[in-house]
Amino acid sequence: MTNRSSLWILLLIALLTWSALLLFTRYVAPHAIAALIAFFLILGVALTSTFAPVAYFISHRLLPRRFYRTTVRQSIREGSLLALITILNLFLRALHSWNIFMAIVILVAAIVVEMLCLAKK
């Protein structure tokens, strides 16, 4: 599968999951814990499939190709890390446990994970 077809599939998944999230929030009441878990799962897929093409285009255009070869797999990893940062912050906010220090800790942990993945390469 080429990079172009993978990116189009990701954009299609993003469109479908954002519409599913819209319908889910319209028709399901957020009173049960299962609804909250389903909301965060759908949001995670929607954010990952939205952030991955953005990360691909940014790294493809801005970073030099001789030092960093951009692939869709790396972009999906970066998109999922960005989505995880967002989901964890929103989850802490929903539990009324969010503060700026926890947001910084989550961000630093994601940066360390990304650096470890890049160093392994």
Q: Give the 3-state secondary structure of the chain.
A: CCHHHHHHHHHHHHHHHHHHHHHHHHHCCCCCHHHHHHHHHHHHHHHHHHHHHHHHHHHHHHCCCCCCCCCHHHHHHHHHHHHHHHHHHHHHHHCCCCCHHHHHHHHHHHHHHHHHHHHHC
pLDDT of residue 120: 76
Among 7, 89, 15, residue whose Cα is nearest residue 45: 15
pLDDT of residue 88: 93
pLDDT of residue 62: 82
Q: How confident is the model over 8-35, as a mean pLDDT?
A: 93
Is pTM beyond 0.75? Reply is: yes
pLDDT of residue 67: 63
Is residue 121 predicted with pLDDT exceeding 80?
no
pLDDT of residue 65: 67
Is residue 44 predicted with pLDDT exceeding 90?
yes
Which pLDDT tens digit goes with each residue over 48-99?
999 999 999 888 888 776 666 778 888 899 999 999 999 999 999 988 998 9
pLDDT of residue 66: 61
